[in-house]
Structure 1
Amino acid sequence: MGTGRAGSVESVSVKEGDSVTLNSNLTEMKDAGVINWRFENTLIAEINVTADRITVYDDFLDGRFRDRLKLDNQTGSLTITDITIEHVGLYERNINFRYTEIFLAVFARLPVPVISRVCSSLSSSSSSSSSSSSCSLVCSAVNVSHVTLSWYKGNRLLSSISASNLNISLSLPLDVEYQDENTYSCVINNPVINQTQHLNITQLCHTCSDSVHCCGPTEAVIRLVLSALVGVATVVLVVYDIKSRRAEHQAHIHTSGSIEI
């Protein structure tokens, strides 16, 4: 880094699709001379106060800034509109050779987490660890990154799981009593966004004799597929047993006939 460059880096976080303004921290520019902005060492905008000239270089860097850059002609602040993940990185502000670095973090919009019931018959470990009076649930979110998924009972955190990898799926289990009247919610969040799904115990944890209707549609399909596979396997075993017995019987007859001769 050159002389006069700051040792510390400012940090700014923004949601994907929003706009962000990187401030010059000037109230007026009459003594500024030249203000320029760089992204990853590439010049993207410049104000020459002496020449009364404003220039944006939004076609550089494969056009990722095209029609997105706006310079304030009063303060020299830089606004970037319609932010995407491509705009994540290190920006540098230079005012008369006084440098400031700003790291821009962009977070994708988050899906609302999904709460579903888990069939106890499909999870032997879950059914053995929980009593028959409890309802097993799971909160999940797919294709997320740099987020935390949490269960809350009222305002109290019960459990959480975090992910830093890109585009993965998260799930977090919870067991509640059928007659529980507390308020539960599942929250997914990153530093700038959060999405909340509230649990409706009455709707998800009703008791019924038909496990297919008790469980969600995905669990019901799994149950049907497993039942079909078990049925097919049973038929195969029966057919194999019949063929084996028949072959054994024919071999016995053949052997007996040979001895008599």
Structure 2
Amino acid sequence: MVYAFVLFCLSLFGFVGAFGVETDEMKSVSVIEGDTFTLQTDTEMKKDDLILWRFGAEDSPMAEVNRSAQSISVSESMKGFKDRLHLDPRTGSLTVRNIRTDHSGIYEVQIIGNKILRKTFNVTVYARLPGPVISRDCSSPSSSSYCSLVCSVVNVSDVTLSWYKGNSLLSSISVSDLSSSVSLHLNVEYQDKNIYSCVTNNPISNQTQHLDIDDLCQIHSDSECVCCCDSTKAVIQLVISALVGVATVVVLGFEITSRKAEQKRQTQTSTSVH
């Protein structure tokens, strides 16, 4: 009888507790790899409050603050966050230092007191953007009127690469998955005096490279000759290497044949003497 009463009380407590949970709308947070950011609880902890932080599908808390026990602890099982986490003892807010891209995911905090308050954060960590590089476009045929250019960026994901003329967008290309290289071409007149720039950006940052037409687009410049002749030079080098290889084989074959003939001649001479 007593056992049944205890079970009834526990069930009633759970029923009331379930309706005592307040859940905020999920917040989206974007940060750059290597930065430090803080997830705010937006509350002041009371003496008997307990705050639990979880990451992803982890069952056990990654960190917790217990005001009544005056303790702050970070789970050792969260190896990916080693020495990166800090908890505010007054608010329970969570700070992550030197964050990595694999720290993207869902962070949840439960503030347990007279009622339970639950907050969730969808954190997206973006890799730092490399700067775009502008160079002559060797793949395009040469022209007496236009200078062919290409803007490239390597090892990027979830970025947009764009050409601008002043503040006006000329062209752009976007990639979502990891890409080894992204390129965008542009033709400008040799005597063009407008300001051109190539920009790479993701949702929270950007990198800009301005075009120096006088430097890259000099007619009959040395850089143009190098640009146009790179492929021809590579072919010539391959042909020369092949010829050297063939010549080496011929010389070795001649030496081996000469040695065999000399040995045969010496053997015949020795036999005739005896």
TM-score by length of 1: 0.76
User: Does 2:30 align with 1:18?
Assistant: no
Q: Is the 8 A contact 1:70 1:79 kept in 2?
A: yes
Q: Is the 8 A contact 2:129 2:207 kept in 1?
A: yes
In 2, Cα distance between equivalents of 1:20 and 1:229: 53
Q: Is the 8 A contact 2:49 2:67 kept in 1?
A: yes
Question: 1:104-162 CA deviation, whole Å, 9 max, x = no partner?
Answer: 1111111110100113xx435xx6xxx63111100001111111101111111111100
- Structure 1 portions without partners, runs of 5+: 233-261
In 1, Cα distance between equivalents of 2:73 and 2:240: 73
Question: What amino acid is the match of 2:178?
Answer: L
In 1, Cα distance between equivalents of 2:29 and 2:133: 30
Question: What amino acid is the match of 1:85?
Answer: T
In 1, Cα distance between equivalents of 2:33 and 2:48: 32
In 2, Cα distance between equivalents of 1:161 and 1:33: 50
Number of the residue aligned with 2:174: 162
In 2, Cα distance between equivalents of 1:215 and 1:154: 29
Percent identity of equivalent pairs: 51
Structure 1 residues 9 and 182, CA gap change in structure 2 (3 angstroms): same
SS at match of 1:168: strand
Deviation at 1:88, TM superposition (A): 1.0
Instruction: Indicate the RMSD between aligned Cα atoms, in angstroms.
Output: 2.5
User: Does 2:93 align with 1:84?
Assistant: no
TM-score by length of 2: 0.73
User: Does 2:71 align with 1:53?
Assistant: yes
In 2, Cα distance between equivalents of 1:39 and 1:173: 43
In 2, Cα distance between equivalents of 1:179 and 1:149: 25
In 2, Cα distance between equivalents of 1:11 and 1:226: 53
- Paired residues, number: 219
Question: What amino acid is the match of 2:149?
Answer: L
In 2, Cα distance between equivalents of 1:227 and 1:41: 59
In 2, Cα distance between equivalents of 1:132 and 1:5: 70
Q: Which of 4, 9, 14 pairs up with 2:26?
A: 9
Q: Is the 8 A contact 2:24 2:118 kept in 1?
A: no
In 2, Cα distance between equivalents of 1:105 and 1:213: 42
Deviation at 1:174, TM superposition (A): 0.6
User: Does 2:202 align with 1:190?
Assistant: yes
Deviation at 1:193, TM superposition (A): 1.8
